[in-house]
Structure 1
Amino acid sequence: MASSVFYLAHLPSPPIPLPRVPGPKLAPFTPSAQADIEFLEFLGHENDVDSLVWKVKINGGLFALKVFFFRRWEFLRDNQGADLTTPLANPQLYVDYFDPFNCECRAYGRLKEAKREDLAVKAHGYLLLTPQQEIELERRVTAIDPDPLPDANASELTGHNFWTRHEQHRGLPVRAIVKDFVPGDRLTSAQVRAMWPDLQELHSLGILVGDTHGGNYLGGKLVDFSRSLTMYHPGLHYIFESTQREMMLEELQHLLDYYYYLLNWSSTDGIDIPQDLEAFCSGHLDEYQNLPIKHKFLQWEEDPDAAMKFVEQELFKKEVD
């Protein structure tokens, strides 16, 4: 009797840019998507739920490595994909579009396409951890020697393990993205001034960041795109207009709050609150021109017709007559 468990698609070998749906993608950091990694220092926060961020050394260079936990496709459907007015055609698509790793791949892929990597802390590519690296990182975080076998080989995967693997993730390696290491130095006034223009440029490239609070900035640059939606994205297109508006308003309000925080609590001189940002957050959002959904995403596609065919014929569930 065939198993009723749904398994997510295995990653291609040799590695290719991800995710595997039309649109922007991030290439592997090395041809094999593997590397010798020296884990130096934990950089994240205790309450981080999507990932771990570590200062690492790879090939003699210092980087920040963002390592992602697994998320069930049902969780992504019921949370990040909850506002869709039309269900996606299959479980894999919820992972391709809403999984935090894939969200980051799509956002950074768009920045690379547009040659605007200056708008965020730079990402260099993705890596796939080896079983030995999984064990080492788990040991470093928990200070407990894990079972000699990584949880990937457990007899039953229920999510109650370090990497939150479920049966649907069996056979999948832990994924990570290599980024520039940015020290947490004092912000300059120039860096603060650039945050609002940078966010507008990100929106104009079809990227809704999803989380622009101050903790997602380093050196005045965004570093976290794990909740981002990058055109073409069903989470921007197939939702109610009122929901789109709420998402945009929340995006701008978080940045405005950060400006006020820096004005009142930081030691950086010369901070001014952007008046147009404040106006957009105070009842004038209809005047904002850089809505991500307006981005002409087909300009980046090698085969625009195939991309549109995918969106129109393969992305969503067909209605039953």
Structure 2
Amino acid sequence: MTSSPFRLARLPSPPVPLPRVPGPRLAPFTPSAQADIEFIEFLGRKNDKDSLVWKVTINGAGPFALKVFFFRHWDFLRENQAGDLATPLANPQLYVDYFDPFNCECRAYGRLKAEKREDLAVKAHGYILLTPQQEAGLVQRVTGRSTPPPSADAHNLDGVNFWGRHEQHRGLPVRAIVKDLAAGTGPNPAQAQGMWLDLQALHSLGIFVIDTHLGNYMGGKLVDFSRAWTTYHPALDEIYVRTFQDLLLGELQSLLDYYYELTNTSGGSIAVPEDLEALCSGHLDQYQNFPTAYDWLKWEMNADVAAAYVEQKVFKRAA
């Protein structure tokens, strides 16, 4: 007898803040998580693997930037995003809850909202779930082909489709996050100086950005948290110390490389932060703002229950 395939949890109706695990969450943009969307202009990069970004109006307001996410198989996330875990997670759903790019962004932006520090990145307003008609219309805009969402009796979904749907995603709506429309320009000297200060502040709030290359900044502000680990996060709990240090150094080095480029293109008017350069030159032990030090339980309505969930439900422990 063949067992039924694993499927991700259905999203609740009415919508709730996501993802549904202990830690920060992002609320829907509207009470129904749906809206009238006019897709105006594609803003992203053609080689983006996680999402499409469009200039839109929503319910007649805006313009906004709408980041629309592709689906990722849980096993892909386990191998490519969570490969450094010292202990595997207890079930496939958890890999999606903690490592899926949409959920990573929800958690980072949820923390910024809770801490009233939305100034540290381009502001996000909430998430939206596309209707089947909006999903099909957007595919038509991008590909020129009419590709309706799969029906309940459609053939097996193997990921070879526009949104990357596998069988585990059957029936799930396409997800998107509404953000401010950022100016697509390089930073001026004042904005550039703030990038390093912002990153340190993000770390102090338990947000490990990981991906700090120049393509993730606009006007000196981060616009992308699709790889971020935000406490509580199992990767910040069960990762080898050396691996974490290497990832942190890589994050800092990416920002430092961006500063070097800005210095060259600005004729020296944008300075490279000396302390960032020192950290990347072998003094990482002097860094103070480790994301793992953040007290995430202070936001939980029942801290004991949240702590017990992490201890008992997240990891696949040996019997």
Normalised by the shorter chain, which TM-score bucket? over 0.9
Structure 2 residue 275 is matched with structure 1 residue 273: no
CA apart distance, 1:184: 1.3
Aligned pairs (5 A) from 1:48-67: 48-59=48-59, 60-67=61-68
Residue identity matched to 2:18: L
What is the number of equivalent residue pairs in this alignment?
317
CA apart distance, 1:185: 3.1
Corresponding residue number in structure 2 for 1:219: 219
Residue identity matched to 1:100: P
Query: What is the SS of the residue equivalent to 1:187?
Result: coil
Corresponding residue number in structure 1 for 2:293: 294
Q: Is the 8 A contact 1:152 1:165 kept in 2?
A: no
CA distance in 1, matches of 2:277, 2:15: 44
Corresponding residue number in structure 2 for 1:100: 101
CA distance in 1, matches of 2:179, 2:213: 19
Q: Deviations over 1:136-162 (max 9, x none)?
A: 11011112233xx32355322110100
Query: What is the SS of the residue equivalent to 2:308?
Result: helix
CA distance in 2, matches of 1:12, 1:266: 50
Q: Deviations over 1:6-56 (max 9, x none)?
A: 010000000000000010000000000000000011111111000000000
Query: What is the SS of the residue equivalent to 2:191?
Result: helix
Corresponding residue number in structure 1 for 2:246: 246
Residue identity matched to 1:315: V
Residue identity matched to 1:127: I
Corresponding residue number in structure 2 for 1:90: 91
Corresponding residue number in structure 1 for 2:7: 7
Corresponding residue number in structure 2 for 1:168: 168
Query: What is the SS of the residue equivalent to 2:32?
Result: coil
Name structure 1 gaps, 5 residues minimum.
none
Q: Deviations over 1:241-262 (max 9, x none)?
A: 0001001001100000000111
Corresponding residue number in structure 2 for 1:120: 121
Q: Is the 8 A contact 1:151 1:161 kept in 2?
A: no
Corresponding residue number in structure 1 for 2:72: 71
Q: Deviations over 1:222-250 (max 9, x none)?
A: 00000000011111110100001001001
Q: Deviations over 1:169-218 (max 9, x none)?
A: 01100000000001213422110110000000000000010100010001
Residue identity matched to 2:274: Q
Q: Deviations over 1:64-89 (max 9, x none)?
A: 00000000011111111111111111
CA distance in 2, matches of 1:108, 1:150: 29
Query: What is the SS of the residue equivalent to 1:126?
Result: strand
CA distance in 2, matches of 1:234, 1:206: 13
Q: Is the 8 A contact 1:107 1:207 kept in 2?
A: yes
More displaced 10-residue stretch of structure 1: 178-187 or 155-164: 178-187
- Return closer, same or farther for 1:79/1:186 CA change in 2, 3 Å cut-off: closer
CA distance in 2, matches of 1:265, 1:290: 30
CA distance in 2, matches of 1:294, 1:186: 32
Query: What is the SS of the residue equivalent to 1:196?
Result: helix
State the superposition RMSD in angstroms: 1.2
Residue identity matched to 1:173: P
Aligned pairs (5 A) from 1:201-212: 201-212=201-212
Query: What is the SS of the residue equivalent to 1:181?
Result: coil
| Identical pairs, percent | 68
Corresponding residue number in structure 2 for 1:143: 144
More displaced 10-residue stretch of structure 1: 35-44 or 293-302: 293-302
CA apart distance, 1:266: 4.0
Query: What is the SS of the residue equivalent to 1:46?
Result: coil
Query: What is the SS of the residue equivalent to 2:239?
Result: coil
Residue identity matched to 1:209: V
CA apart distance, 1:3: 4.1
